[in-house]
Amino acid sequence: MENVSTQPSAAGGRYLGQGADIFKLALKTGFLTFITLGIYRFWAKTRVRKFIWSSTELEGTRFEYTGTGLEKFLGFLVAVVILAIYLGIIQMLLFFFGISLFREAQSDAEAIAQSFAGFITVLAVLPVIYFAVYRARRYKLARTRWRSIRFGMENAAWGYAMRALGYGFMSIISLGILMPLATFKLEKYMTDRSWFGDAKFEQHGRWTRLYGAMKHIFIGLGWLLGAAVFAAISATPLAAILGFIGCFWIIIGSVYYNVHSFRYLTANKTLGGEITFKAEPFTSTVVLTYIGGSIAIALLLGTLGAIIAASLAGPAMLAPEAMLDVGLIQFIPLLIYIIVLVVAGAMSLAMIVQPIIRHYVETLAVINTDAFGQIAQRASDEGADAEGFADALDIGGAI
């Protein structure tokens, strides 16, 4: 390398995917998913990932996603066997004990019992959800390669689920004050078990340093406090305005928290003890991409939906009122709904998801890239359920 000064070698991430390309791919795979009654969705997701991974470039080499639709399908089937039995029984027992949820509470004790029953419902599924979250990240890393070297993550999903429950509980009872603790510890748990080849990732830093990222949430809470004060001295319009500002501020503040905790956590990660990172995404870019994309999608879809609805309204009106079975009449509106959904999904990938990924990738820098040369391959990971639990519980997210 020519870089012989004390300055370490560095490289910035580049994202090269085009909006039109990912839109076409998502539309095509969405349509295939529709006509195969949902079965193609595992292949659809895999193909979109292959596109996004191969659009991401570091030091002139693109990433590769090596997962297959088939293994995702097989993993899903395994997850279904387990979840069918677990959820079927849990759901019915909870329904049986929770029937009083449908009645208005007649005493305080009953109100507490009701919220407790609701709490149990969530609690029964929550560990499985956290388990699935870790498994999904492990699968995605195990199927990511760069310069022919595999990423990977250790098998520790139940440990993650238990910690996520514990830290989540602490966040809730502290009214969110301990949220940075949960964010930091859970990210550290996952990072410290992640690998690139034979090089290990490590999360350094301190959880208290994430409070800076929370500042706009606190400011938003301040506005709400002001609203409460004015409401108490019966200045209702003023309280309403302050309340609105407070809520808005908290929503933007949450994005700010995500972006800035990501900055801090990334800047304090190391790979193999010598490679470091720097991330500088902007809250404004993320928020404006969301808003701009959403408005554009709403306008385009509104037009499309109106056209389809107008051309199909005729036959739907002929349905007689006195049918005893209504199942089949619902079919046509459902069809429109699904077409709109496929198009909307493709649009949001092209106009929201991909631009945000682009922003995150292009504001990321890797320092001391010379050290990559020494990193050796790791063994392949059979991928456990290949994200089957996440797919079955529908917690996969956009990609």
Partner 1 sequence: MRGRGRFFDGLTAAQHEVAVTLTEDGLAVKIEGPSLKAPLHWPLGDLRATQDHADPYQMILTRKAETEDESPRDPARLVIDDAEMIAWLKDSRPDLYRADVRSGTGKKILRNTGLALGAVALMLFVILPAMANTLARIIPLEREVAFGKSITGQMERFLGGTEIGDLHCNAPEGVAALQAMTATLTDGEDIGYDLNVLVFDHSMTNAFAAPGGQVVLLRGLLEDAPGPDAVAGVLAHEIAHVVYRDPTRVALRTVGSAGLLSLLIGDVTGGAVMVLLAEQVLNSSYSRDAETQADTYAIDALTRVGVSTDGFAQFFDLIKELQGDISIPEILASHPDTDGRSARSAENAATQSNTRQIITDAQWVALQSICDGRG
114 burial level (CB within 10 Å; 0-12, 13-18, 19+): middle
DSSP state of 371: G
Token pair recorded at residue 45? 């997701």
Q: Site for partner 1 (CB under 8 A): which residue of 73, 134, 151, 230?
A: 73
Structure tokens at 377: 């391959």
The answer to whether residue 372 forms part of the interface with partner 1 (CB under 8 A) is yes
Maximum CA extent, the chain: 84
Q: Nearer to partner 1 by C-beta: 160 or 372?
A: 372
Residue 67 binding partner 1, by CB under 8 A: yes
Q: Does 71 bind partner 1 (CB under 8 A)?
A: yes
Cα angle, residue 393 at apex, residues 391 and 396 outer, rounded to 5°: 50
In the list 5, 108, 315, 394, the residue contacting partner 1 (rule: CB under 8 A) is: 394
Spell out a b/e string for 137-174, using b for 16 or more CB atoms within 10 Å of the CB, else e. Answer: bbbbbbbbbbeebbbbbeeebeebbebbeebbeebeee
List 9, 27, 34, 287, residue binding partner 1 (CB under 8 A): 34
Counting contacts by CB under 8 A, is residue 74 touching partner 1?
A: yes
CB 198 within 8 A of CB 217: no
Q: Which residues face 56 on adjacent strands?
A: 15
Q: Based on the shown chain and the rule CB under 8 A, indicate whether residue 236 belongs to the binding site for partner 1.
A: no
Stretch that binds partner 1, among 126-134, 202-210, 223-231, 336-344 (CB under 8 A): 336-344
Parallel/antiparallel/unpaired status of strands 10-15 and 269-271: unpaired
Of residues 145 and 359, the one with the C-beta less far from partner 1: 145
Q: Where does this chain touch partner 1 (CB under 8 A) — which range of 217-225, 240-248, 286-294, 337-345?
A: 337-345
Determine, following the binding rule CB under 8 A, whether residue 315 of this chain makes contact with partner 1. no
Kindly state the smallest distance separating residue 89's Cβ from partner 1, in Å: 7
Question: Does the protein bind partner 1 through residue 135 (CB under 8 A)?
Answer: no
Q: What is the rounded distance in angstroms from the CA atom of residue 78 to the CA atom of residue 139?
A: 15
Stretch that binds partner 1, among 158-166, 220-228, 276-284, 371-379 (CB under 8 A): 371-379
Residue 41 contacts residue 345 (beta carbons within 8 Å): no
> Which of the residues 175 through 234 are near partner 1 (CB under 8 A)?
196-197
Q: Which of residues 267-286 bind partner 1 (CB under 8 A)?
A: none
Per CB under 8 A, does 2 bind partner 1? no
Contact stretch for partner 1 (CB under 8 A) within 46-54, 209-217, 231-239, 286-294: 46-54
Residue count, binding to partner 1 (CB under 8 A): 87
CA dihedral 73, 75, 76, 80 (to 10 degrees): 140
Residue 41 is a binding residue for partner 1 (CB under 8 A): yes
Is residue 304 close enough to count as binding partner 1 by CB under 8 A? no
Within 79-118, which residues bind partner 1 (CB under 8 A)? Answer: 80-81, 83-85, 87-89, 91-92, 95-96, 99-100, 102-103
Residue 322 sits in the site that holds partner 1 (CB under 8 A): yes
CB of 252 to partner 1, least distance (A): 29
Establish if 55 lies at the interface with partner 1 (CB under 8 A): yes
Which of 141, 149, 178, 239 touches partner 1 by CB under 8 A?
A: 149
> Nearest 5°: CA angle at 60, between 55 and 63?
40
47 is an interface residue for partner 1 by CB under 8 A: yes
Instruction: Write a three-state SS string for 142-185.
Output: HCEEECCEEEEECCCHHHHHHHHHHHHHHHHHCCCCCHHHHHHH
- Residue found by looking up tokens 């449908």 in the block: 102
Is residue 144 close enough to count as binding partner 1 by CB under 8 A?
Answer: no
Closest distance to partner 1 from the beta carbon of 116 (Å): 16
CA distances from 253 to 262, 298, 365 (A): 14, 24, 25
